[in-house]
Amino acid sequence: MDSHPKADTPPTIYDVARRAGVSIASVSRVLNGRDNPRPATRDRVLKASAELGFVPDGAARALSSRLKHVVGVVFRRVYGTDDGGTFADEAESLLFGDQINRGIEIVAQRYGYDLLVCSVNIDERTLPNRIMTIAGKCDGLILHDQVLSPAGLAAVARVAPVVSLAGAGGGDVAVVRSESADSMRELARHLVQDHGYRRLAYIAGHADSPDNVVRGRSFADEARALGAECLTGPAWQGDYSAAGGVEIVRGLISLGATLPRAIACANDQTALGVLYALAEHGLDVPGDIAVTGFDDLPFARHLRPQLTTVRQPIQEIGAQAFEVLHSMITTGQPASTTTEAAADIVLPTRLIRRESCGCPPDPATPSWRRLV
């Protein structure tokens, strides 16, 4: 059978399969960048497609540039089982990650890219291989968390461009992050100097999170420099979840511990859990204990009391991360050898004073929109 289509008929995927001597499924896998087809198969399919002038919808650029137009987005699996089973608590939601991904998606669509969103277990022994596998399916990676060691991260960056949303920058991998230290110092000054609180605490996020370390150290150091007490340590170790905030407060109360006058939380979700636990024990916020968060997620302004927090430009972080990654992808060079790979983009944050620390309500939020 003649493998050439008629001159007046556009070539089809069937023509490519016949010309390359492979199945239609193999052609589809190659053109869509799926399942890591064998190099020989990929070369035959691409050669046949070029000879026939076959360009499927959405794949024209992939055929000409060998790009998949897919970017991988990898985040830490906080809830659920290692095998991807049911969430331990389906009420929990990765609100921060959702906002980040939305920012990535907005810019990705502008450039004609799709996202491959993957969660990973930070304790997996096979984690480096899993990240490598994901990288092989994409033109580049955006990592929400510091899921790999510096050596592991450098190894992945030799395979595909990588942008990290965690870390201090200055290494081989580009970093897009928000400023944390100055805003947490400002928060400490606000609680100690403006409200007169002398006994504070910081509920931490993941112990291995660079952002958490900076936030906690900056807040505690500033509070202590002002002559206030700041409680930290194992009793105050959270995990960025509302459930973690609930468990810490419940545990301290059950032990008969004297709670501090103000509790600063590593993020808004932790603060949400703290507010819940304090309310169930009859403690008033801010009358008995002030509570603050970090992120300014959409729900923060609608709580009762409204949550004092540090606002970071969450969607902009995602958008900037894709812009940096796209710049590296279009250079056609390994990320670790480009100028952009060493980029350290730091976006500003801002302290948002609301009711939960003792400040007046935010007039920008109608009272009827606050959650009871």
Q: Please name each of the domains of the chain with its CATH number.
A: 1-49 (1.10.260.40), 70-178+314-347 (3.40.50.2300), 181-293 (3.40.50.2300)
- The least confident of 80-89, 216-225, 254-263 is 80-89
pLDDT greater than 80 at residue 301? yes
- Other C-beta atoms within 10 Å of 279: how many? 12
pLDDT greater than 50 at residue 368? yes
The stretch 11-28 carries a mean pLDDT of 85
pLDDT higher at 143 or 342: 143
- The reported pLDDT for the residue numbered 94 is 60
- Other C-beta atoms within 10 Å of 70: how many? 18
The stretch 92-101 carries a mean pLDDT of 78
- The reported pLDDT for the residue numbered 109 is 93
pLDDT greater than 90 at residue 17? no
> Tokens at residue 50, please?
């070029």
pLDDT greater than 70 at residue 272? yes
- The least confident of 158-162, 190-194, 210-214 is 158-162
* Confidence band, pLDDT 50/70/90 cuts, at residue 187: very high
- Compute the Cα dihedral for 87, 90, 95, 98 and give only its sign: positive
Q: Is the pTM of this model over 0.85?
A: no
The stretch 73-90 carries a mean pLDDT of 57
* Confidence band, pLDDT 50/70/90 cuts, at residue 80: very low
Most confident of 40-44, 132-136, 187-191, 336-340: 187-191
- The reported pLDDT for the residue numbered 64 is 44
* Confidence band, pLDDT 50/70/90 cuts, at residue 29: confident
- The reported pLDDT for the residue numbered 338 is 46
- The reported pLDDT for the residue numbered 371 is 54
Is residue 185 within 8 A of residue 248, CB to CB? The reply is no
The stretch 74-91 carries a mean pLDDT of 55
* Confidence band, pLDDT 50/70/90 cuts, at residue 348: very high
pLDDT higher at 124 or 183: 183
Mean pLDDT of the chain: 84
* Confidence band, pLDDT 50/70/90 cuts, at residue 269: very high
Sequence letter at residue 30: V
- The reported pLDDT for the residue numbered 55 is 55
pLDDT higher at 368 or 223: 223
- The least confident of 32-36, 260-264, 275-279, 343-347 is 32-36
pLDDT greater than 90 at residue 346? yes
- The reported pLDDT for the residue numbered 84 is 46
* Confidence band, pLDDT 50/70/90 cuts, at residue 124: low
Distances from the Cα of 364 to the Cα of 92, 259, 352, angstroms: 27, 32, 12
* Confidence band, pLDDT 50/70/90 cuts, at residue 182: very high
Mention every residue, 6+ apart, whose C-beta is less than 8 A from residue 322: 71, 103, 104, 107, 108, 111, 113, 142, 163
pLDDT greater than 70 at residue 352? yes
Task: For the chain, give the percent of residues with pLDDT over 90.
Answer: 53
